[in-house]
Chains A and B, each alone.
Chain A
Amino acid sequence: MTNDGEKMKKALCAVISLLSVLTILVFWYMISWKNPELMPTPVETLKQMFEMIVNPTGVSLFEHVAASFTRVFIAYFSATLAGVLIGVAFGWSEIFRDFVHPIFELLRPIPPIAWIPIIVIWFGIGEVSKIAIVFIGAFVPIVVNTYSGMMQMDPIYEKAGKVIGANRKEMLLEIVIPASFPHILAGMKTALSQSWACVIAAEMIVAQKGLGYLIVRSMESGNMGNILISIFFISGISALLSYLFNKLEAIICPW
């Protein structure tokens, strides 16, 4: 009997989940009925998306996606490299930490978006400025996590290393870095979603291509359909990236 009750409850939950999706659609329809010239209905939006993919006019949707993606790719990988390096240096060298960590802490509270105006003054409105903004967004969490990973390492590993007679270089490469690897990965994960949000922000404020640019241009021309399509792609890619990252994490860091 209890088993049946449990099953009923599960089924009820599934129905409720479905209802919640319906709620979103109902809300959406309500907004579009109230402002028909502003907000397309879900079906119209789907049609518009299909249209955009099949007969692109001007810069196609995929070019926008590709532009955003390239920026994130370049910035994310350079930020990972630089961030892990600096984070390890913070954790490993007391002198470096004492001198440089305060400067890092000083700059850290400034959100990446607030860097946009000065970076545009420095690097112009080309690719470099977008990459620099994404770089800042990704760099900070990687440094923070790498550093805290090294600090939280169980001292017993270090002692074990000493007992075996490892020198400093071996200690760093074979004990300390692998031990803090899960933390580094956690930082890289935060950094990945940060990068994606940053590239959208940067493109919204200064770009001629990319999903962020598409959103802002559609806002200026009042094309809500395009905004919704861009958001659909932005969140879809964001979800996909974090899904892929989790898969990758399970492969390269099973411990």
Chain B
Amino acid sequence: MKIKGKKRTIIRAVIGLSSFFLIWEMIVRLGIIPRNRMSPFTEVIATFIRKITDPTPDGATIIEHFLTSFSVAFSGFVVAALIGVPLGMMMGYNRYAKAYANTIFEILRPIPPIAWIPIIMLLLGIGTSAKIFIIFVAAVVPAVINSYTGIKRVPEVYINVGKSLGMSHFKIFTKICIPHALPAVFTGLRLSLNTAWVALVAAELLASTKGLGYMIQIGRVLAKPEIIITGMIVIGCSGAVMSGLLGLFEKRFAKWSRK
């Protein structure tokens, strides 16, 4: 019997994934990796379900951890988008704006977002506003860069058409440049969101009392691998879900992008 095409791919994926989980389960159950280093897959699932309502041993339920992390990451991201996208667009459209902002930008850009954490923590403390600021600094870079390239890639012809139709600069910018740049802007926003999420986890690993990064850090301190792995899964899934949602958003607002 031969199964063709898509069906076969799905069956193979299911077999691949289940053997992955099975091997994981067996390695720990058979004691190849000791229990204090790794937890079997089923135990991680059980921990996840238990953590939905149970705040032990790390002081908060997984929902509280998630909401703490999410609200900080999202606020930082929104601020970064609101500032970064217009800034990038201005840099793309006006050469003086570019001359001013680009230099600052090129100096600050190579600094990995995580390296900002200590400066900001020393200046602003480890409170929520400091964390939001860290996320902002991390997330603003891709937003600016992609909005800038988006505007730069508007073909000269389009702008000239606008000019010969007698459109004002403002109109050319809003009616021609922005729509053309929107797909690139969304690419930037997706990168921003990603960076925001990663930077947040880093900030929480370093200093916090709640949040998913804190949860996995405590899991390490208490030597509870099931807590760490549960946290990792939640971090990974929420990151993937967030960028998926942004993709849906993009489809609605920039229908002309791609394909």
Contact = CB atoms under 8 A, between A and B. Distances in A.
Contacts of A236: 110
Interface in A113-128: 113-118, 120-122
A20 B232 contact: no
Contacts of B95: 9, 13
Interface in B90-137: 95-96, 98-104, 107-108, 110-115, 117-119, 121-123
Interface string A119-146: 0111000000000000000000000000
A102 B111 contact: no
Contacts of B96: 12-13, 16
B235 interface: yes
B111 A234 contact: yes
A36 to B, nearest CB: 13
A242 B229 CA distance: 34
A239 interface: yes
Contacts of B102: 17, 20
Contact of B99 (A17, A101, A111): A17
Interface stretch (B14-22, B46-54, B149-157, B165-173): B14-22
Interface stretch (B178-186, B215-223, B248-256): B215-223
B205 A111 contact: no
A121 B220 contact: yes
A133 B38 CA distance: 17
A6 B210 CA distance: 56
Contacts of A244: none
Contact of A121 (B37, B118, B206, B233): B37
A239 B107 CA distance: 10
A38 B123 contact: yes
A238 B206 contact: no
B115 A215 contact: yes
Contacts of A85: none
B160 interface: no
A78 interface: no
A234 B100 contact: no
Given A24-B104, A228-B119, A117 B219 contact: yes
A14 B98 CA distance: 11
Contacts of A13: 95-96, 98-99
Given A118-B225, A231-B119, A103 B17 contact: yes
A184 to B, nearest CB: 21
A244 to B, nearest CB: 13
Contact of B205 (A113, A228, A238): A113
Contacts of A235: 108, 110-112, 115
Contacts, number: 158
B142 interface: no
Contact of B239 (A111, A215, A219, A222): A111
Given A99-B12, A113-B201, A116-B205, A222 B104 contact: no
A100 interface: yes
B159 interface: no
A110 interface: yes
Contact of B17 (A17, A102, A114): A102
A211 B23 CA distance: 38
B204 to A, nearest CB: 10
A224 interface: yes
B82 interface: no
Contacts of B119: 224, 227-228, 231
B198 A205 contact: no
Interface of A: 9, 12-14, 16-17, 19-21, 23-24, 31, 35, 38-39, 95, 98-103, 106-107, 109-111, 113-118, 120-122, 196-197, 200-201, 204-205, 212, 215-216, 218-219, 222, 224, 227-228, 230-231, 234-236, 238-239, 242
A-B pairs with lowest CB-CB distance, top 5: A98-B12, A117-B220, A197-B112, A99-B16, A219-B118
